[in-house]
Chains A and B, each alone.
Chain A
Amino acid sequence: MSQKEPLFSAKNLKLFTEPFNNGNPVTVLVLGICSALAVTVKLQPAIVMGLSVTIVTGFSSFIISLMRNTIPNRIRIIVQLVVVAALVILVDQVLKAYAYEVSKQLSVFVGLIITNCIIMGRIEAFALGNKPFPSLVDGLGNGAAYGMILVIVAFFRELLGSGTLLGFQIIPESWYIKNGGFYENNGLMILPPMALIVLGIIIWVQRSFNKSLVEK
């Protein structure tokens, strides 16, 4: 019988911090790209999406980890899907009840959280072989790291594409050409390709700081 580990040991903390750095699900593992393109036009939907995914990843990992010794190996994907789907429906209903406007903006992408590769990836790679608490921490960390990238992309896209942040005007109205200034919003930022380019630049910046990520 091994010694009981403290709840917030260095190992468990590392599970949470690793996704923000060398194990980032979006910029290093390149998972969950589709939704990163779709919901990052504005900051608010991106934050809500990040939170939703964090909750789903965390709790699905936790629940699967609780059941990991009873799930027959051959039908494990079905069981995982049932758990994830149930959580996604819960999140969707909560959003509809308390944040109707945002949930309308996110439209199908809340439902599509179920197909987000990060969730299944964490369950398969971690939760099936680890205890519930580390699984919860790992899931929350990965979801939050995904949310972080979403927020960074959405920050630049909303600021440069609409001149606002969270709906508040940041770039002074008097700068715009229609008010006699020189500035104009960048229409390309609103289009999906620019999300991909911004994401690429984030990956570029991360790799120039962290050479160990560069493939030979």
Chain B
Amino acid sequence: MKALRRYLDKIKPTFSKGGKLGMFHSTFDAFESFMFVPNTVTHKGSHIRDGIDLKRTMSVVVLALMPALLFGMWNTGYQHFMSMGLTEQVSFWQTFWFGFWKVLPIVIVSYVVGLGIEFAFAQSRGHEVNEGFLVTGMLIPLIMPVDVPLWIVALATAFAVIIGKEVFGGTGMNVWNPALLARAFVFFAYPSHISGDKVWIASMIKGEGIIDGFSGATPLAIAANGTGETGANMTVEALQQQMPSVYDMFMGFIPGSIGETSKLAILLGAAILLITGIGSWRIMLATVVGGLGMGYLCNFLAVNPYMELPAYYHLLMGGFAFGAVFMATDPVSASQTNTGKWIYGLLLGIMIVIIRIFNPAYPEGVMLAILLMNTFAPLIDYYVVGANINRRLKRTKVQA
């Protein structure tokens, strides 16, 4: 560690203003502060500086994503061998390595493209490199189907970073969650790669050795059968029969985007975020309460088997848990005020269930609901702050 510090101190003048490589100042700075806590001190006024700066915050979130990533790798292999009817013959490590080599390229492409653009913008604008992409780069692979072509990942990442973030002024200025914007880009630009029954399992789109009776449909796609004409002659028990068991959905032995399947792994991540105080418990709780509440309301008003599904099913299907823990709590695009966080989370949960149940075109509502609520977050904050000011003004008038 000491040697590294000394080496950095030695080459620092080369990269400072006026140095030989002064133009790469921001790149050097990014690497230096990535490895060491910067020694900047506040000179004016009284401020408390925490050792946990933006880079350390981002690292904790990436750490919290690790269980979901590792499980996603294993599940990729598991689903693949299951589609071929080979789960009995392959070992745990064979399963894991298969998924590892499928997922790793997506992670690498996402980081290389995203960080490349970040560094280029920072250089050309003379800014320091922002750390925001560390988390986005990990989130993007986790919310993609495993069979998505790599050039589409690259294009979506570039779109999200340039149009979603740099145009607005970089990290901390974006209106929407960049990772979800990348997914929305794929969803609207290349719908055949991110919807349907075949994209969630590796190599299935190529029609590789699929055993009879294996469909590859996600729980959400099956649940969507419970609406419209097919749902009219079906009981909710019959629908639940078709879906994976609650245990499987909780543990994550189901097809889906890479990181979203295991609720257990996501809960582990949520625990890390909550203990370190980085994720907002208000948003997570409010989203769950909103989703459950809307689920119960649908049970109450049920006209088809999908609406009759137990409300907790919505927490287990698709990306609800992943979205509520990692996406909705993004400190930049969510509401900032505490009251605002409750409103934001509740509406988010409600929107997710509404889009899932009432819009047959979009079986999964989490992505669109979060992007929609991101759009409204500043408005919610505006009125919360306004209401607070009015309340306090009234108090002063009474005293006067």
A187 touches B189 (CB 8 A): yes
Taking the nearest CB of chain B, how far is it from the CB of A154, in angstroms?
18
A189 touches B189 (CB 8 A): yes
Within 8 Å of chain A (Cβ to Cβ): is B149? yes
**Given A182-B149, A182-B151, A197–B189 Cβ distance below 8 Å?**
no
Q: In the complex, what residue of chain A is closest to B190 when comparing beta carbons?
A: A184
Within 8 Å of chain B (Cβ to Cβ): is A188? yes
A188 touches B188 (CB 8 A): yes
Taking the nearest CB of chain A, how far is it from the CB of B258, in angstroms?
21
Q: Mark A10-28, 1 if CB is under 8 A from B, else 0.
A: 0000000000000000000
Q: Which of B189-222 contact A (CB under 8 A)?
A: 189-193
B190 touches A187 (CB 8 A): yes
Q: Which of A174-216 contact B (CB under 8 A)?
A: 182, 184, 186-189, 191, 197, 200, 204
Task: Determine the distance from Cα of A182 to Cα of B188 in the docked complex, in whole angstroms.
Answer: 18
Within 8 Å of chain A (Cβ to Cβ): is B163? yes
From A184, A189, A191, A197, B163 is in contact (CB under 8 Å) with A197
Q: In the complex, what residue of chain A is closest to B188 when comparing beta carbons?
A: A188
A187 touches B193 (CB 8 A): no
Task: Determine the distance from Cα of A24 to Cα of B153 in the docked complex, in whole angstroms.
Answer: 36
A187 touches B151 (CB 8 A): no
Task: Determine the distance from Cα of A186 to Cα of B159 in the docked complex, in whole angstroms.
Answer: 12
Within 8 Å of chain A (Cβ to Cβ): is B313? no
Chain B interfacial residues counted at CB < 8 A: 12
Taking the nearest CB of chain B, how far is it from the CB of A179, in angstroms?
14
**Given A182-B149, A197-B163, A188–B192 Cβ distance below 8 Å?**
no
Taking the nearest CB of chain B, how far is it from the CB of A192, in angstroms?
11
From B151, B189, B193, A188 is in contact (CB under 8 Å) with B189
Q: Which of A35-86 contact B (CB under 8 A)?
A: none
Q: In the complex, what residue of chain B is closest to A186 when comparing beta carbons?
A: B189
Taking the nearest CB of chain A, how far is it from the CB of B236, in angstroms?
35
Count: A-B pairs, CB below 8 Å: 20
A187 touches B188 (CB 8 A): yes
- A187 surroundings in chain B (CB, below 8 A): 188-191
- B192 surroundings in chain A (CB, below 8 A): 184
Taking the nearest CB of chain A, how far is it from the CB of B79, in angstroms?
22
Taking the nearest CB of chain A, how far is it from the CB of B371, in angstroms?
12
Q: In the complex, what residue of chain A is closest to B205 when comparing beta carbons?
A: A177
- B189 surroundings in chain A (CB, below 8 A): 186-189
Q: Which of B140-183 contact A (CB under 8 A)?
A: 149, 151-152, 163, 167
Task: Determine the distance from Cα of A46 to Cα of B193 in the docked complex, in whole angstroms.
Answer: 30
Q: In the complex, what residue of chain A is closest to B193 when comparing beta carbons?
A: A184
- A191 surroundings in chain B (CB, below 8 A): 188
Q: In the complex, what residue of chain A is closest to B186 when comparing beta carbons?
A: A188
Task: Determine the distance from Cα of A197 to Cα of B188 in the docked complex, in whole angstroms.
Answer: 14
Within 8 Å of chain A (Cβ to Cβ): is B121? no
Task: Determine the distance from Cα of A166 to Cα of B151 in the docked complex, in whole angstroms.
Answer: 27
- B163 surroundings in chain A (CB, below 8 A): 197
Q: In the complex, what residue of chain A is closest to B150 when comparing beta carbons?
A: A182
Q: In the complex, what residue of chain B is closest to A204 when comparing beta carbons?
A: B167
- B188 surroundings in chain A (CB, below 8 A): 187-188, 191
A188 touches B149 (CB 8 A): no
Taking the nearest CB of chain B, how far is it from the CB of A150, in angstroms?
21
- B151 surroundings in chain A (CB, below 8 A): 182
Q: In the complex, what residue of chain B is closest to A189 when comparing beta carbons?
A: B189
Q: In the complex, what residue of chain B is closest to A201 when comparing beta carbons?
A: B163
Task: Determine the distance from Cα of A204 to Cα of B162 in the docked complex, in whole angstroms.
Answer: 12
Within 8 Å of chain A (Cβ to Cβ): is B296? no
Taking the nearest CB of chain A, how far is it from the CB of B170, in angstroms?
15
Task: Determine the distance from Cα of A204 to Cα of B167 in the docked complex, in whole angstroms.
Answer: 9
Task: Determine the distance from Cα of A184 to Cα of B191 in the docked complex, in whole angstroms.
Answer: 10
Q: In the complex, what residue of chain B is closest to A200 when comparing beta carbons?
A: B167
Task: Determine the distance from Cα of A200 to Cα of B152 in the docked complex, in whole angstroms.
Answer: 22
- A182 surroundings in chain B (CB, below 8 A): 149, 151
Q: Which of A147-164 contact B (CB under 8 A)?
A: none
Q: Which of A124-180 contact B (CB under 8 A)?
A: none
Taking the nearest CB of chain B, how far is it from the CB of A197, in angstroms?
6
Within 8 Å of chain A (Cβ to Cβ): is B24? no
- A200 surroundings in chain B (CB, below 8 A): 167
Taking the nearest CB of chain B, how far is it from the CB of A203, in angstroms?
11
Most buried by A among B152, B167, B189: B189
Within 8 Å of chain A (Cβ to Cβ): is B281? no
20 contacts between A and B (CB under 8 A): A182-B149, A182-B151, A184-B152, A184-B190, A184-B192, A184-B193, A186-B189, A186-B190, A187-B188, A187-B189, A187-B190, A187-B191, A188-B185, A188-B188, A188-B189, A189-B189, A191-B188, A197-B163, A200-B167, A204-B167
Residues of B at the A interface (CB closer than 8 Å) are 149, 151-152, 163, 167, 185, 188-193
Residues of A at the B interface (CB closer than 8 Å) are 182, 184, 186-189, 191, 197, 200, 204
A186-B190, A187-B191 known, 12 other contacts, Cβ within 8 Å:
A182-B149, A182-B151, A184-B190, A184-B192, A184-B193, A186-B189, A187-B189, A187-B190, A188-B188, A188-B189, A197-B163, A200-B167
A-B complex: 4 closest residue pairs judged by Cβ atoms: A188-B189, A186-B189, A188-B188, A187-B189
